[in-house]
Amino acid sequence: MSKMNVKNFGFFFMIAAAVFSLSACNIQIGWNDYIDDKYIIDDENDGPAVFALPSVSINSPVNNQEFDPGTLSLSGVSVAGTYPLSAIYLSVNSGLYLSIGTSPVWNQSFYAEPGVYSFSVYAVDVKGNYSKTNHVTNIRIVGGEGQ
């Protein structure tokens, strides 16, 4: 091969590599005359480019509250982000998280014996996006027999 053919082959190889690498990309660029004559980039994603995560909070009880033994009621609110909620999960004293539904306003009650409790809650949407986990700590149940 002559030097000229080697140079042409090298140039052809670089062009072919660039075309191959661009064709492996999943981005399509198209012209749209309806939105200020700007390019639109479609990455073939079925969801929005920016989305909001779900959120959930515990409104009652609050940190460091004290109660008598008996039924303790927890309540809070949840907000779906971009996608609907799949579940809200609640944990007592770092135990297993149990699903408590998907209601925007939620309530859970349980019998609380004397001791110290903590509660954690988080939400998940239908696409698997998680909210921040929120905690309430140092809920004291005092009194009862022998106290």
pLDDT digits (tens), the chain, 147 positions:
555 555 555 555 555 555 444 444 444 444 444 444 444 455 566 666 677 999 999 999 999 999 999 999 999 999 999 999 999 999 999 999 999 999 999 999 999 999 999 999 999 999 999 999 999 999 999 986 644
CB 110 within 8 A of CB 139: no
Task: Name every residue whose Cβ is closer than 8 Å to that of residue 77 and which is 6 or more positions away in sequence.
Answer: 56, 57, 59, 104, 105, 106
Determine, yes or no, domain membership for 28: yes
Residue 61, in any domain of the structure? yes
Residues 118 and 61 in one domain: yes
Contact in structure between 119 and 74 (CB atoms under 8 Å): yes
pLDDT score of 50: 75
Verify that 84 and 37 share a domain, yes or no.
Answer: no
Distance CA 60, CA 40 (A): 47
Smallest CA-to-CA distance from 88 within 73, 74, 104, 72 is with 104
Considering the domain architecture, whether residues 88 and 21 belong to the same structural domain is answered as no
Pair 30, 59 in one domain: no
For residue 29, is it within any domain? yes
pLDDT at residue number 7: 54
Q: Is 19 helix (H, G, I), strand (E, B) or coil?
A: helix
Number of domains in the chain: 2
* Domain interval for residue 34: 3-42
Asked, for residue 146, whether it belongs to a domain, the answer is: no
The gap between the terminal CA atoms of the chain, to the nearest Å, is: 99
In a domain, 19, yes or no: yes
